[in-house]
Amino acid sequence: MLIKKRTGIEIPSSEITPKSVYLSRRQFMRGAALSTAAVAAGGLLAACSGPDAEPGVNPATGSAAEESAVQTAMPGAVSHTTDELGDPLNTFEEITNYNNYYEFSTNKEAVASLAKDFPTAPWQVEVGGLVNKPKTYGLEELMAFEQEERIYRLRCVEGWSMVIPWVGFPLAKLLNEVEPTSAAKYVRFETIEDKANMPGVNSPFFPWPYVEGLRLDEAMNDLTILSTGLYGEALLPQNGAPIRLVVPWKYGFKSIKSIVKIDLVDTMPQSLWMKTAPTEYGFFATVNPNVDHPRWSQATERRIGEFGRRETLLFNGYGEQVAHLYDDPNYDTTQSVRGQ
């Protein structure tokens, strides 16, 4: 994991558009390896149902780092060109043109153009449920959390992956503000269901809206972020603008896009994928090369932009940060995809 903190990001709510992200160059680095410097049967449920197709589709630590004038962040304005394992970032083009977003299309290469005009402002996220201080956040309030760069691998359950330089902030910071009560055990997230602007939500094959969930300790882990941008720019609609979850040690479908509702609850949420294909997708969905999907192996993956396949890493390579979350004897690693 590479983490860079940025202070002073300013995204006026009136200007949530590419090239409007102004970043301070004051940087803090922490985290590991800084030395690298720097359908169900029948094909209906394609994105989370079919194995990936063949190739072709295509700081220094410390708090007193240098500070310099505010600058405009352009695509490519990132702190590192690789992840902490030394693997290169996927390109902005790749990350914004190969997307799973079923509200628009089950065709990954059609999402970007179908989502192009999706209205992402004004936007509100209603945070409630088992909390002392429920609050509806406007986008500008979400942008006011200190925005950090997080370079994470994204591993789709279909067997492809990318390295993405997200911008965002730890979900824990937002949850701490609303103060979960002692009864809160899980967090439930909901995507907007905008029938007028999302052609896919008219599909009767899915129980809209898209819902996902985390156990509260997973949600509070520092790796779990709400992302508002990538490559130093505000998110584009195809990547879940204006705000989406990123949980890098779990299969990509957990990283729910375009969130409008976050509820603290006491029972395990039923996600869209658990309802759609309960024998294939479970609640935890931690990346595990040793547990195959019922219809394909999870041992390897194709990094977008590469030919051939590479080995999939347990917890997607983030075991040091998250393995302790699953020490509970009730957590069954054989069910990291299916069941609970």
Ligand X SMILES: Nc1nc2c(c(=O)[nH]1)N[C@H]1C(S)=C(S)[C@@H](COP(=O)(O)O)O[C@H]1N2
Tokens linked to 66: 């240098």
For 339, residues 6+ apart whose C-beta sits below 8 A from its C-beta are 282, 283, 332
Judged by CB under 6 A, which of 28, 253, 318, 326 binds ligand X?
Answer: 253
Binding footprint of Mo ion, residue count (CB under 5 A): 4
Q: How many chain residues interact with ligand X (CB under 6 A)? A: 19
In the complex, the smallest distance separating the C-beta of residue 25 from ligand X, rounded to whole angstroms, is 26
Report which DSSP code applies to 199: G
Specify the stretch interacting with ligand X by CB under 6 A; choose among 5-13, 93-101, 177-185, 280-288.
Answer: 93-101
Give phi and psi for 136, each to the nearest 5: -100, 120
Report the C-alpha gap between 292 and 259 in whole angstroms: 29
Q: Nearer to ligand X by C-beta: 170 or 237?
A: 237
| Selected range binding ligand X among 23-31, 250-258, 280-288, 311-319, rule: CB under 6 A | 250-258
Phi then psi for 6, rounded to 5 degrees? -120, 140
Q: Write out the two tokens for 50.
A: 């079919």
Window 254 to 273, contacts with ligand X (CB under 6 A):
255-258
From the list 12-20, 151-159, 260-268, 272-280, the region that binds Mo ion by CB under 5 A is 151-159
Listed residue (289, 206, 219, 305) closest to 254, CA to CA: 219
- Residue 80 or residue 250: which is nearer to ligand X going by CB? 250
Buried b (16+ CB within 10 A) or exposed e, 150-169: bbbbbbbbbbbbbbbbbbbb
Check binding of 45 to ligand X (CB under 6 A). no
The span of 33-41, 86-94, 98-106, 293-301 binding ligand X (CB under 6 A) equals 98-106
Query: How far is it, in rounded angstroms, from Cα 143 to Cα 9?
Result: 8
Please report whether residue 252 would count as binding Mo ion according to CB under 5 A: yes
Distance from C-alpha of 97 to C-alpha of 111, rounded to nearest angstrom: 7
Interface pick for ligand X out of 3, 48, 167, 247 (rule CB under 6 A): 48
Q: What is the DSSP string of 26-48?
A: -EEEESS-GGGT--HHHHTT-TT
Q: Cβ of residue 103: shortest distance to ligand X, in angstroms? A: 6
Nearest-CB residue for ligand X: 252
Site residues for Mo ion per CB under 5 A? 100, 156, 252-253
Site residues for ligand X per CB under 6 A? 47-48, 99-103, 154, 156, 191, 210, 239-240, 252-253, 255-258
